[in-house]
Structure 1
Amino acid sequence: MSNLLTGGDLRAREHHRIEDDARAAGPLHSATRPDGVRVQVVTVGLELARKLLADKRLSKDSDALQNEIRRQFAEQGSTQSELGGLFGPSMLNSDRPKHTRLRALAVKAFNAQAVEQLAPRIEEITAELIDRLPVGEEIDLVKAFAVPMPLHIIGEVLGVPEKDRAEVRTLIETMMSMDHDVSQPASNALGGYFHALLTGDELDESSLFGALVAADDNGDHLTHDELMAMAFLLVVAGHETTAALITNVVHDALDNELWEKAAADPGLVPLLVEETLRHNPPVRNATHRITTEPLEIDGVTVPENTVLMINFGAAGRCPVAHEDAARYRIDRPTTGHVAFGHGPHFCLGSGLARLETEIVLRELTSRFPRTTYSGHEQPAVTRNDIMASPKTLPLVLRR
């Protein structure tokens, strides 16, 4: 089951089969990332996945993860020592109490009230970008819309100047490569950009980055390293995952003949978003965890210092949690999933991602109710160790 983690293109639905077969075969599957790091991919049902995501014995500590990865590099005789910015000391890669402290400094910008205040501007940006799309001819929705739209939003929220956003997007895309020789220079370049932005005169004090630089919790401030790690986390997580979610939802609505129904009944849009999060989440595997002691997962003993990645797709399509789990259906009584994680590391930006995607789908379906997919086969899905989403999505927008 090593193909649970390997890169390369699959066809839509094929990665579902791989994940579901893996869950049926057992809870743990050895895999090796392209850089040689050995991990165990966990494919279990929804209830157990939730328990593991909240289990204190599965640490997110950046130092522990980096030490184990470097140990593996040394064991292989590799001279590689640098790790990408996403392994930095952010709240993503920390345990309590450090995680609690870091999250408290960022949470106000992502609470329900703050997200709702962004809705009018998200609607404006969505409408402006859709106005530029050609009607009645083939476009690639990924390149023309799904990628630039959330970058505009996260750029405004965080304070990335508009003139820099295309460059930042290119660096993010390159950094997500599973080839270390490609991803590491991009990570270094993005780190250099964030350093210049966070310490320079262009920083908008009213933006989230500006607020984080000035954040004061009873005299407690983020260090420069913590600011840098937070920048990596918020920009990459806030953009890459939302672009993939938009792409997956549009694909699923068309693939399941629900586009015109959503155009006629906008109330179906949140159901479509939730069913895609359950059935076809853009984040396939939770980011790395490391065991702090031996533990048992569904009858299999896992040694201490094992790097784990919990598969979200297999958990969402768990046949115990959901009737007819392998099918895409919007008439489910519940749509339980772990697409945004679970426990203390539940995604801080989940509300913003849902809001953006719902606004996009409502606008596209209402304007272009007869839109069609123009490919001759299921689109190619590009995977890395974390994400999976159609590489291109050829559509013809039809009024």
Structure 2
Amino acid sequence: MSELLTGGDLRARDHHRIEDDARAAGPLHDATRPDGVRVQVVTVGLEAARKLLADRRLSKDSDALQREIKRQLAALGSTQTDLAGMFGPSMLNSDNPKHARLRALAVKAFNAEAVQQLAPRIEGITGELIDGLPLGEEIDLVRALAVPMPLHVIGEVLGVPARDRAGVRALIETMMSMDPEVSQPASDALGGYFHGLLTGDELDESSLFGRLVAADDDGDRLSHDELMAMAFLLVVAGHETTAGLITNVVHDALDNGLWEKVAADPGLVPVLVEETLRHNNPVRNSTHRITTEPLEIDGVAVPENTLLVINLGSAGRCPVAHEDAARYRIDRATTGHVAFGHGPHFCLGSGLARLETEIVLRELTSRFPRTSYAGDEQPAVTENDIMASSKTLPVVLRR
């Protein structure tokens, strides 16, 4: 069931069928990543997914994850040895109490008050980008808006200079391809960039990166490895997932004939965002976990030291939790999902992602109420083991 990990030549909505069929067939599916590493993909209902995401027996410890992945890679004869980019000791790849310590250093930048203070700047960046878009001709909204908007926002929050952001984005795209021949050099290059930024004289002390470098909690400072891992996490997660959410929401609004309805009633914007998070979540699978002891998932035995990911899409479309769960509907309560995870690792940037997506959808529908999808078929989806959003989104903007 490697299709549960990679997009391949799948088209939009194909992954829904694959995930929902897998959930109906059973809770565990052996899958192989493009680099040959074997992972168990968990497809369970919403409540079971919540319990697993908060289960302490499913560890996020960086050392344990890297040890098992390197063991498998070595058995395959792989020369890939550096996994620090995606599996470094960040708050994402750590358990409590280390996780709580690292998260506390970043949480103030993403709390509700801080996010709302960013709203005027998000609106400004969105407006500037939209002002440059042509009317009446086909454009790719992924490249033109969905990617650059959150990239500029998180770049300003973190302290990544504007001149460097396009290059950082290009390295991230390559790194997430899951092809070790190109992803490893890209990871190394991105690591070199972050090292220079975090140790250089140009770092803005008022930015989040600047504050993390200076952070001192009773003499306990972040190590260089922790700083580097935090940089990878915040830059990648801070724009990649939001770009996917913007893409999927615009696609869903057009695909379900809701664009003009939202243009006439902006109050529907948050409803569409939540239904897309439930039904067409851009984060297809959770990040990796490893079992610290033997356990059972829905009656199936799982050995110790098993790598697994939890499929978030199938949990969101759980038929027990939602009536008519396989359909996209905006006449339901849409808060029942795990699109941002659950438990200690609930997404720190969920509020920012929602705000950015709502601003983009509101601005696009109000300015261009007659916008239409320009493709002849459903767009191809991304090709990595985490994301599931359209690679391109061809649209024609019309007033």
Task: Tell me, yes or no, if the aligned pair for 2:278 and 2:334 is still in contact at 8 Å.
Answer: no
Opposite residue 39 of structure 1, the aligned amino acid is V
1:196 aligns with 2:196: yes
| 1:326 shift after superposition | 0.2
TM-score (norm 2): 0.99
Match of 1:270 in 2: 270
Match of 1:141 in 2: 141
Match of 2:301 in 1: 301
Opposite residue 365 of structure 1, the aligned amino acid is T
CA distance in 2, matches of 1:225, 1:84: 8
Opposite residue 211 of structure 2, the aligned amino acid is A
CA distance in 2, matches of 1:38, 1:389: 23
Opposite residue 392 of structure 2, the aligned amino acid is T
CA distance in 2, matches of 1:196, 1:50: 39
CA distance in 2, matches of 1:261, 1:115: 28
Match of 1:99 in 2: 99
Task: Tell me, yes or no, if the aligned pair for 1:90 and 1:102 is still in contact at 8 Å.
Answer: yes
| 1:32 shift after superposition | 0.8
Regions of 4+ moved over 3 Å: none
CA distance in 2, matches of 1:55, 1:155: 33
| 1:76 shift after superposition | 2.5
- Alignment map for 1:36-75 (pairs within 5 Å): 36-75=36-75
Deviations 1:40-88 (A, max 9, x none): 0000000000000000000000000011111112222333322250100
CA distance in 2, matches of 1:94, 1:344: 10
Task: Tell me, yes or no, if the aligned pair for 1:84 and 1:183 is still in contact at 8 Å.
Answer: no
CA distance in 2, matches of 1:302, 1:65: 16
CA distance in 2, matches of 1:393, 1:34: 25
Task: Tell me, yes or no, if the aligned pair for 2:41 and 2:308 is still in contact at 8 Å.
Answer: yes
| 1:217 shift after superposition | 2.0
Match of 1:240 in 2: 240
Identify which range, 182-191 or 218-227, moves more after superposition. 218-227
Opposite residue 376 of structure 2, the aligned amino acid is H
Identify which range, 162-171 or 325-334, moves more after superposition. 325-334
Match of 2:4 in 1: 4
Match of 1:160 in 2: 160
Unpaired stretches in structure 1, ≥5 consecutive residues = none
Match of 1:129 in 2: 129
Deviations 1:264-283 (A, max 9, x none): 11110000000000000011
CA distance in 1, matches of 2:315, 2:353: 20
CA distance in 1, matches of 2:217, 2:329: 45
| 1:232 shift after superposition | 0.1
- Alignment map for 1:1-399 (pairs within 5 Å): 1-399=1-399
TM-score (norm 1): 0.99
CA distance in 2, matches of 1:186, 1:79: 15
Opposite residue 144 of structure 2, the aligned amino acid is A
Opposite residue 354 of structure 1, the aligned amino acid is R
CA distance in 2, matches of 1:84, 1:263: 44
| 1:246 shift after superposition | 0.4
| 1:23 shift after superposition | 0.3
CA distance in 2, matches of 1:238, 1:62: 20
SS of equivalent to 2:381: strand
Deviations 1:62-120 (A, max 9, x none): 00001111111222233332225010000000000000100011111111000000001
CA distance in 2, matches of 1:13, 1:335: 21
Task: Tell me, yes or no, if the aligned pair for 2:7 and 2:381 is still in contact at 8 Å.
Answer: no
Opposite residue 196 of structure 1, the aligned amino acid is G
Deviations 1:11-52 (A, max 9, x none): 111110000000000000001111111100000000000000
CA distance in 2, matches of 1:385, 1:257: 30
Opposite residue 127 of structure 1, the aligned amino acid is G
Opposite residue 8 of structure 2, the aligned amino acid is G
SS of equivalent to 2:308: strand
CA distance in 2, matches of 1:240, 1:84: 19
Task: Tell me, yes or no, if the aligned pair for 1:105 and 1:217 is still in contact at 8 Å.
Answer: no
Task: Tell me, yes or no, if the aligned pair for 1:110 and 1:349 is still in contact at 8 Å.
Answer: yes
| 1:211 shift after superposition | 1.0
CA distance in 1, matches of 2:177, 2:328: 29
SS of equivalent to 2:142: helix
Task: Tell me, yes or no, if the aligned pair for 2:4 and 2:18 is still in contact at 8 Å.
Answer: yes
| 1:7 shift after superposition | 4.1
| 1:145 shift after superposition | 1.0
| 1:6 shift after superposition | 2.8
Opposite residue 135 of structure 1, the aligned amino acid is L
| Number of equivalenced pairs | 399
Identify which range, 101-110 or 380-389, moves more after superposition. 380-389
SS of equivalent to 2:123: helix
Task: Tell me, yes or no, if the aligned pair for 2:271 and 2:334 is still in contact at 8 Å.
Answer: no
Task: Tell me, yes or no, if the aligned pair for 1:27 and 1:43 is still in contact at 8 Å.
Answer: yes
CA distance in 2, matches of 1:238, 1:319: 31
